[in-house]
Structure 1
């Protein structure tokens, strides 16, 4: 007979208790005026294989590839920058994001590294079809795609829900991962009061939470940012979440797992399977990831990692975009060491 876990949730630190009491996410009324400024945005044209664009003076190339999965194939969209023979860095985004979440770090690191940023399955221009949306299943499909494009040894940098998939890649394919820069996702400590979005997104197909990309992006960033991004970056984020099918595909992840299940998997299996150097990147002012949960994380919690470091960035939840230069600095230092 199965037995429930005897692990206990971590009590909220006083600062996080105040955040929860005041509500993590803003109401519709609070964002209405801000939202009106973005109603003019038009969808982007779908890319084709080999399309390029210049960002921060760097050439980004769009690619499409068919990988195995879901009984047949999964079509992946990924963007690449940097030398083909460079050491590889794979960037995985969160919700409500896309490959574009990492464009500033890719611009910087592509001077040395081969930078690869896919749209996760269900997001951006990758496939939206039904299939395996368990984090472990989707992660295995993503790993097989990376092998197809010649990324068999790589560093991996992640944020939010992309971290959930990377946790499995780093555990199940330890010999392929050089270093793991892990961001903004529950690790050893967890309290469900910090994850109300789980139920929101689980029911998104019915409550319409993902149907309005502009509202979603503004709601997320106004609620969780410390340094609000420029309008141009917010506009591109909105466009990247506007491709048809995203609003129905993304909830499949939240119906295939839960924040509690993810936490138990890490504590019971995944953390002990990580062998490479690990850098935990967290927003110092993050509402959903209290810094107190990370201040004392050591090799005791990730016992078989080569090393464990924690770096707090001067931002909220979306620090790859909020404090781009500081994030790039931290990654460069980590990779060099």
Structure 2
């Protein structure tokens, strides 16, 4: 059955912004050469502590139910475990590390937990269920196992797709939802040319060189500079064995259109917590004009607000302080 829902027309500004969408091979080669000295880092061990921005981050590994047996998860925690929890979910081509500046800033008052999504970082990369709803249910099972039963959730990009299901399917668990950089009610396929590229990447070799792939994505949709030290770690986190084979499974399990229709038909009306929509002001893939009336699309939420962050798609690392301030605002939003 074909859906009667029509794509949204692109605003003139947004249509102009996606001209010359994909960076040139020469630009990517030059930027990749800049990080030639970056080498993969060793895998972490359970309980390993590293200090970032003066805050201790502890690495954890846990097996939780999924794929008819167990799924192996890696997550990183900062802050007192007795405090209210914030669960952070990253996008592509990232890992838990995407949220390290915000975790460091918030750890004094909150239990901050950042997860490597299934297929990414140091989490499970075996075959299994890579539908976003299936992976989200497995992630939720992991959170229950580690005792995180009520939590705020803050997300970016592909992590947002999974959080959409968690917020809809487990409304009693989600306190507030900081929803970042993902299509909501409006969508047009010209905004997602990467879908076909990522789906075909095992055959085209697009992700074969993790360093070049990370540089390719960040060069494509970043507006503000990101420090070389941070970029080097982003590359390392995407370079763990198995990622380049696991991540494309998501794009072979669903489409951007399917995600969009599921939101429109079922998910948006099921969100019952306060929602802060966070989008890059200069994002090419998610035009800011599409979010101006967000409250109309989420009828069951008691409070829907929109916050535009300076920068492009990767505002979590482009605008560190502004992103932290937005999350602090989310955490003040009344639950009623």
Per the normalisation by structure 1, the TM-score is 0.98
Q: Does 1:142 align with 2:139?
A: yes
Task: Say which of 222, 225, 244 aligns to 1:225.
Answer: 222
Q: Please list the CA deviations of residues 212-231 of structure 1 after superposition, one character each: whole Å capped at 9, or x if unmatched.
A: 12111211111111112010
Task: Say which of 194, 198, 201 aligns to 2:195.
Answer: 198
Q: Contact 1:24–1:288 (CA<8 Å) still a contact in 2?
A: no
Taking the aligned partners of 1:123 and 1:240, their CA distance within structure 2 comes to: 8
Taking the aligned partners of 2:29 and 2:221, their CA distance within structure 1 comes to: 16
Per the alignment, residue 5 of structure 2 pairs with 7
Stretch deviating more after TM superposition (34-43 or 189-198): 34-43
Per the alignment, residue 315 of structure 2 pairs with 319
Residue 174 of structure 1 aligns to a residue whose secondary structure is coil
Taking the aligned partners of 2:28 and 2:129, their CA distance within structure 1 comes to: 35
Per the alignment, residue 253 of structure 1 pairs with 250
Residue 289 of structure 1 aligns to a residue whose secondary structure is coil
Taking the aligned partners of 1:32 and 1:210, their CA distance within structure 2 comes to: 14
Per the alignment, residue 92 of structure 1 pairs with 89
Per the alignment, residue 158 of structure 1 pairs with 155
Aligned Cα RMSD in Å?
A: 0.7
How many residues are matched?
A: 333
Write out aligned runs for 1:1-337 (5 A): 3-20=1-18, 22-298=19-295, 300-337=296-333
Residue 332 of structure 1 aligns to a residue whose secondary structure is helix
Taking the aligned partners of 1:23 and 1:144, their CA distance within structure 2 comes to: 42
Q: Please list the CA deviations of residues 152-198 of structure 1 after superposition, one character each: whole Å capped at 9, or x if unmatched.
A: 00000000000000000000000000000000000000000000000
Q: Please list the CA deviations of residues 265-291 of structure 1 after superposition, one character each: whole Å capped at 9, or x if unmatched.
A: 000000000000000000000000000
Taking the aligned partners of 1:316 and 1:67, their CA distance within structure 2 comes to: 35
Q: Can you give the 5+ residue segments of structure 1 that lack an aligned partner in the other structure?
A: none
Q: Please list the CA deviations of residues 121-142 of structure 1 after superposition, one character each: whole Å capped at 9, or x if unmatched.
A: 0000001000000000000000
Taking the aligned partners of 1:274 and 1:228, their CA distance within structure 2 comes to: 34
Per the normalisation by structure 2, the TM-score is 0.98
TM superposition shift of 1:103: 0.2
TM superposition shift of 1:296: 2.2
TM superposition shift of 1:23: 2.5
Q: Can you give the 5+ residue segments of structure 2 that lack an aligned partner in the other structure?
A: none
TM superposition shift of 1:27: 1.9
Residue 331 of structure 2 aligns to a residue whose secondary structure is helix
Q: Contact 1:136–1:168 (CA<8 Å) still a contact in 2?
A: yes
Residue 336 of structure 1 aligns to a residue whose secondary structure is coil
